[in-house]
Each structure stands twice: as structure tokens, then as C-alpha cells.
């Protein structure tokens, strides 16, 4: 039996599909959270549609020449202030925050080569719907757009030094709020770490910490290897020279870890089990001694924990215990999740307090004071 298709059936089917789609959207089952990303087919369809749109409209509406290389300085300055936050730049990571966008902004040093000049002009002018890419703020300024299209065309081949000169001037002055001097970077750091490097209550002490560890932490935050929405966003704004300067500044700051912590309302005497874990570990739990890595004078890449805030240390240990992605304590640069899971849960706070009571100062004989 062949079902005869009529206009009434077609309309009824369309109406039913519309009602079904609306019911699905109303139910809230469709997850629009950026953290989930797109389905693969959705990502492909949107990207394919975007490329088709750009190709068609660029061919029909953009006149030649579509680029103008005479004003790269103004284009680079605008890019540094408004575009590098998402796309990155030579020697600069994109914002850690924007890595969580769906879709995330492309690396123009790679993708610029896949577009023609006219297509770059169209994208810069009109932006892209369903993304964070806005239209040019002054649509009647085709001259500015041609200069920006020319700058984007140059991005795959421009060096870090050339970019910094174009974007920030030969003396490296601040452009677009990007800190290029130590004092500017410190003003960002001091919001959480205070002007003495001792930090707010839930923030670790940086004053007196090892410079190699501080530098490695900033690099890890900037690359996303060490995760923090707050620190990642800060670290991606720093160039390697500023990272080193900040690490040296806080390492040389007085106070901080140079004195043992006085723990308010701590009526407990020295915990012998915590001291034993600190000095000898727990062989029965395959737990190494803390002093193997964190004693004073050890590897500069390991942090100094003596005199650190016990609340911070305990919180870090608890979060490491929940990281089931690390299953081998010998994994380079990532042993702590496994080690933390081997510490008895009830010993985390006593062990943190034991570290806090220590002094981050060596006596003349080389022992801990």
C-alpha cells in the first residue's frame, strides 16, 4: 500500500516536528553549556556553513584591494588591545578564560593562510555569528578594516620582536592594558597575594618561595598544564621576562616563609605521626618522606612548604586526592595526586600544621631551624 502524500499530511508532519522540537527545547535536556562543546556534526556543520558564507559574500561584496599594508602599526595596536585576548599573538598565549569558549578562537598564525585577502576583509568587517567574533566597531571605516586584514595576513610570518615593536612601540610601553612592566604586573598580583606576598586567607604565601618553582608554576598556568581559571587568565598575559622578574621579586621578598607559622587556637602539641610522615614516610603505605623533596636545600623545582599556610596545604592535598587521572607517582612533574592518596585522610590537617610550624631558613650547619 502506497501512502499518498497530500498537502494536509505534509503540513501536519511539519507541525508535529515543530512541536516535537519545541518540546525538546522546553524540556531543558539540550545542554547549551560551553563546557560540553558541540557535537561533532554540529561543529562540522557550523564551520562548513561559515566557510561557505564567507566565500560567497567575500566574492560578491568585497572590492580589491582588500588589504592595505601602510598602517600596520595602528592595526597591531588594536589587535593587541582587543584581539590577542582570544587569538593570541607572537610570543603571547590567548587568554586562558577564552580557551573555554565554544567554539574557541582559532590560532590566526595558522588559519590566516587558509583565507584569501577578500575573505579576511569580510570576516574582520562582519564578524561571525554563534562565536565571540564581533563585527568591526565602525562599519563605515573600510580603510581600518583593510589595514587589519593586512596585519592578520602577516601574522603567520611576523616575529615576536616585530610584533612587540608594532603593537607596543620600540620602548615596550603598555598598550590596551597589557602589563609590560614589573610594577604593572605586580598591581595584578597584589589583588590576591597582597603587597607583601603573604596573600589573602585562602591564598598561598609567595614571599620567600623558590624562584625556580614560582617561574615553573607561572609557565604551567599559562600553558594550561596546571589548571586555575584565575591564575591561568593572569599568567597568559605575562611574557617570559616578566614571569622571571615576578618569580625573583617574590622569592626575594622579606618575611613570608622565612618564619614558622603561629597557628591560632592550635592546642595540639607536636603530632608525632605527622612528624614521622614528614621525616620518614609510611613504608607500609608506600608513602615517601616529605623531606625527600621538600626539605630545604633540595631540588629548586620543588616548592618550599615550611611556613606555608596550613589551610592552603590541606586544601591542596585534598584536591590532589581527588585527581584519579594520575595513577603513577613516578610520573614526571606530577607525583603528588598519588602521594596525597597514600596519606591517611585524618593525617592531612596534622601534616599541614607540621609543615606550617617549620622555618624556611637553614641554620649555618645546613639543617632546618
Among all chains, which residue has been given the C-alpha cell 600553558? 223
Across 265-283, b (16+ Cβ under 10 Å) vs e yields: eeeeeebeebeebbeebbe
**Chain-wide mean pLDDT for the chain?**
83
pLDDT in tens, 228-271: 767 877 887 788 889 999 999 999 887 778 655 554 444 444 57
The answer to whether residues 97 and 74 belong to one domain is yes
Residue 161 confidence (pLDDT): 87
pLDDT score, position 368:
43
Do 63 and 148 fall within a single domain?
A: yes
pTM summary value:
0.66
Query: Is there a domain that residue 20 lies in?
Result: no
User: DSSP string spanning 6-20?
Assistant: -HHHHHHHHHHHHHH
Same domain, 155 and 193: no
One-character DSSP codes across 147-200: HHHHHHHHTTT--HHHHHHHHHTTTT---TT---SHHHHHHHHHHHH-TTS--S
In this structure, what are the phi and psi dihedrals at residue 191, rounded to the nearest 5 degrees? -60, -35
List of residues 6+ apart from 165 with CB closer than 8 A: none
> What does the pLDDT read at residue 59?
95
| Number of folded domains that form the chain | 3
Cβ-Cβ contacts under 8 Å for 70 (sequence gap 6 or more): 147
- Name the domain boundary from 255, 281, 307: 255
Handedness of CA 294, 296, 298, 302 (dihedral sign): positive
Percent of the chain predicted with pLDDT > 70: 86
> Do 318 and 344 have their domain in common?
yes
CA-wise closest residue to 214 among 200, 234, 229: 234
**Of 174, 193, 170, the residue nearest 249 (C-alpha):** 193
Closest by CA position to 352, among listed 320, 319, 305? 305
Cα 12 from chain centre: 51
**Tens digit of each residue's pLDDT, the chain (369 residues):** 455 668 888 888 899 999 998 998 888 887 878 778 888 898 899 999 999 999 999 999 999 999 999 878 888 888 887 898 899 899 887 877 777 788 888 999 899 999 999 999 999 999 999 888 999 988 888 988 998 999 999 999 999 888 888 887 765 554 444 545 788 788 778 878 887 788 776 788 999 899 999 999 999 888 878 877 678 778 877 888 899 999 999 998 877 786 555 544 444 445 788 888 988 999 999 999 998 888 777 788 889 888 888 888 998 898 888 877 766 666 666 788 889 999 999 999 999 988 888 865 544 444 444
Residues 164 and 186 in one domain: no
At residue 176, the pLDDT reads: 44
Residue 145 sits in the same domain as residue 244: no
Shared domain check, 90 and 196: no
**Pairwise CA distance, residues 100 & 80, whole Å:** 20
Please report, for residues 349, 350, 354, the alpha-carbon distance to residue 266 in angstroms, rounded to integers and kept in the order given: 11, 10, 11
Long-range CB contacts for residues 229-236, cutoff 8 Å, separation at least 24: 229/96, 229/97, 230/192, 232/96, 232/97, 233/95, 233/96, 233/97, 234/188, 234/189, 235/96, 236/92, 236/93, 236/94, 236/95, 236/96
Give the Cα separation of 117 and 151 in Å (integer).
11
In the prediction, which pLDDT does 231 show? 84
The residue segments making up the domain with residue 353 are 272-357
Between CA 210 and CA 216, with CA 211 as vertex, the angle to 5 degrees is: 105
10: in domain? no
Question: Contact at 8 Å (CB) between 171 and 180?
Answer: no
Which CATH number characterizes residue 219's domain?
A: 1.10.760.10
pLDDT on residue 257: 80
pLDDT at 5: 66
Residue closest to 157 by CA, chosen among 115, 112, 122, 124: 112
Adjacent-strand bridge partners of 287: 282
If we measure between CA atoms, which residue out of 220, 226, 272 comes closest to residue 247? 220
314 found inside a domain: yes
Q: Assess whether 215 and 243 both reside in one domain.
A: yes
CATH of the domain at 94: 1.10.760
Residues 210 and 320 placed together within one structural domain of the fold: no
Is there a single domain that holds both residue 156 and residue 191?
Answer: no
Amino acid at each position: 500500500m502506497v501512502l499518498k502524500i497530500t498537502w494536509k499530511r505534509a503540513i501536519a508532519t511539519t507541525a508535529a516536528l515543530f512541536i516535537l522540537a519545541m518540546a525538546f527545547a522546553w524540556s531543558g535536556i539540550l545542554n547549551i553549556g560551553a563546557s560540553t562543546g558541540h557535537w561533532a556534526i554540529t561543529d562540522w556543520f557550523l564551520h562548513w556553513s561559515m566557510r561557505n558564507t564567507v566565500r560567497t559574500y567575500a566574492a560578491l561584496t568585497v572590492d580589491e584591494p582588500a588589504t592595505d599594508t601602510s598602517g600596520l602599526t595602528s592595526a597591531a595596536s588594536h589587535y593587541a588591545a582587543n584581539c590577542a585576548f582570544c587569538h593570541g599573538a607572537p610570543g603571547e598565549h590567548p587568554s586562558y578564560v577564552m580557551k573555554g569558549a565554544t567554539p574557541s578562537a582559532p590560532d590566526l598564525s595558522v588559519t590566516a593562510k587558509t583565507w584569501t585577502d577578500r575573505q579576511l576583509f569580510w570576516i574582520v568587517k562582519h564578524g561571525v555569528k554563534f562565536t565571540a567574533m564581533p563585527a568591526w566597531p565602525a562599519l563605515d571605516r573600510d580603510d581600518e578594516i583593510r589595514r587589519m586584514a593586512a596585519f592578520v595576513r602577516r601574522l603567520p610570518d611576523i616575529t615576536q620582536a616585530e610584533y612587540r615593536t608594532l603593537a607596543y612601540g620600540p620602548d615596550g610601553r603598555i598598550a590596551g592594558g597589557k602589563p609590560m612592566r614589573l610594577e604593572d604586573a605586580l598591581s595584578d598580583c597584589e589583588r590576591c597575594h597582597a603587597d607583601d606576598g603573604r596573600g589573602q586567607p585562602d591564598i598561598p604565601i609567595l614571599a620567600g618561595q623558590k624562584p625556580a618553582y614560582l617561574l615553573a608554576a607561572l609557565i604551567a598556568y599559562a600553558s594550561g598544564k596546571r589548571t586555575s581559571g584565575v591564575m591561568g587568565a593572569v599568567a597568559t598575559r605575562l611574557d617570559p621576562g616578566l614571569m622571571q622578574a615576578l618569580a625573583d621579586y617574590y622569592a626575594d621578598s622579606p618575611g613570608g616563609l622565612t618564619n614558622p607559622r603561629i597557628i591560632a587556637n592550635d592546642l595540639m602539641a607536636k603530632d608525632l605521626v605527622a612528624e614521622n610522615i614528614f621525616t620518614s614516610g609510611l613504608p607500609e603505605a608506600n608513602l615517601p618522606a616529605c623531606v625527600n623533596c621538600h626539605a630545604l636545600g633540595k631540588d629548586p623545582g620543588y616548592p618550599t612548604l615550611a611556613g606555608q599556610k596550613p589551610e592552603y596545604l590541606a586544601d591542596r592535598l585534598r584536591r590532589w586526592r581527588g585527581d584519579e587521572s594520575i595513577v603513577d607517582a613516578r610520573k614526571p612533574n606530577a607525583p603528588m595526586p598519588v602521594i596525597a592518596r597514600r596519606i591517611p585522610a585524618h593525617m592531612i590537617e596534622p601534616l599541614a600544621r607540621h609543615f606550617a610550624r617549620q622555618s624556611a631558613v637553614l641554620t649555618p650547619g645546613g639543617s632546618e631551624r
